[in-house]
Amino acid sequence: MQKSTAKQQIHPTLILWIAIGWIGFFILPWYGVEDGFFSFLWLVDGYPFDADYAPAAILILQAEKLWLAPLLLFLACPLLILKSHRNDLWYSRLLILSGAGGLAYLTAQGFGIGIRGFNYPILSQVFGELGDRQYGMGYGGLMVASAFLFLLTQGIAARGAVNGDIFVVSAIGGVIAIVATFVFFPIATMLITAFIAEDQCRRHRARATGARPATGSNACECAKSTALLPSQCSGSSCP
């Protein structure tokens, strides 16, 4: 009897991160709140049905931002192992699938869809014009992303990493995520932008407007549309 009970015990940290993920998806505003989350004005300004403050689940029920729907599948995966022991074969596999798959999809949709719809022409060619857009993620997105990260680290710990120590593996995963987000990503973005050639900027401007390559004041517009410096577009500077 005791052996059977012990086998069904789940680490409380797993329950915590499953709950955090569901709270972020079903309760908190998915996108950033203009007046600040902690002003709490959003609670009396259209929440939860206003698209600016709605949780992801409400957006999907309103047939908006349907690209967020697959995240629900990754959040549901850990529910399948709530009665399993961490030594079971599918325990670690499902946690890794949920965490890594959820993080990958969350990142892909975040970079793929922006304030002008699809950020990359190839997505428009494959899926057609989106007809919708999205802004930066808010606390709902942050909590879901955090849940995916720590579901992944718990799956890795269940595979025996660092002697199966959940705290140490999670701490390492958290540090890697923070450094990658706030150090490597900004530096990589600046380096990539710095090495974009002048003729690439001009071709981008010509394709976007059907106009001649950017020169003079048009270079400033090119810079605004491509996040380049005006000097990278035409060798001149904005007035």
pLDDT value, residue 7? 47
pLDDT value, residue 79? 92
**Cα-based torsion angle of the residue sequence 91, 95, 96, 100 in order, rounded to the nearest 10 degrees:** 170
Please say whether the beta carbons of 111 and 170 come within 8 A: no
pLDDT value, residue 34? 87
pLDDT value, residue 46? 87
Contacts of 108 (CB under 8 A, 6+ apart): none
Please report where in the chains the tokens 């946690």 appear, as a residue.
95
pLDDT value, residue 5? 44
pLDDT value, residue 209? 62
pLDDT value, residue 211? 52
Nearest residue to 234 via CA among 203, 212, 210, 201? 201
CA distances from 97 to 23, 75, 147, 196 (A): 20, 10, 13, 36
Token pair recorded at residue 121: 């022409």
* Mean pLDDT split into 10-residue runs, the chain, 239 residues: 49 91 96 90 91 94 94 94 83 94 96 90 88 91 96 93 91 95 89 66 62 49 48 46
User: What is the C-alpha separation between 14 and 34, in angstroms, rounded?
Assistant: 32
Number of helices followed by number of strands (H, E) in the chain: 12, 2
pLDDT value, residue 110? 93
Token pair recorded at residue 155: 């799956």
